Every structure is written in structure tokens, then in C-alpha cells.
Amino acid sequence: MPVMDGFDFLEYYQQKGYHHKYPTITGVLTTSSDPRDIRQLQQISIALYIPKPLILDDLKRLTELFHGRNARLEI
């Protein structure tokens, strides 16, 4: 992102209280496998961390997270 990275955005979103004003489920899709990034993600209120590349099982997890356990993924 040109102005801020994903961590900056998540921090800003929480600092402004948007996570209370607009309840959301946050999932992070990233290319980073750096242990420091993973630790930082664990400290932020996110529901799901998925390393790239995205695979079919990841899509199923995302579908279940955002649409409930009985959701069907159709490709």
C-alpha cells in the first residue's frame, strides 16, 4: 500500500475505534513468513492469518469464517 502497510492500517483502524463502531472479522493474507511479523499479527485482534500462496483449503477456512460453518464454497 502506498501510504501505509497492513500493520499500520490495522493499528490505525483499532486506534480510531473503528473495530467497535464497525464490527468486522479481520483476516490477513500475506507473503511474509518472518516470525516477527507472525508475532505482531498474534498481538493484533485478527481472526485468521493465512500465508500465501492461497490454496483451496485456505479458501474453505475463509468461507467458514465469514459465512458460518455450514457455508459452501463453490468454484
CB 15 within 8 A of CB 53: no
List the one residue out of 16, 18, 42 whose CA is nearest residue 30.
42
pLDDT digits (tens, 9 = 90+) for 38-74: 888 888 777 788 888 889 998 888 888 777 766 565 5
Alpha-carbon distance of 61 to 21, in angstroms, equals 26
pLDDT digits (tens, 9 = 90+) for 2-27: 788 888 988 898 899 888 888 787 88
Alpha-carbon distance of 59 to 45, in angstroms, equals 20
Q: Is the peptide bond before 51 cis (omega within 30 degrees of 0)?
A: no
pTM confidence score: 0.62
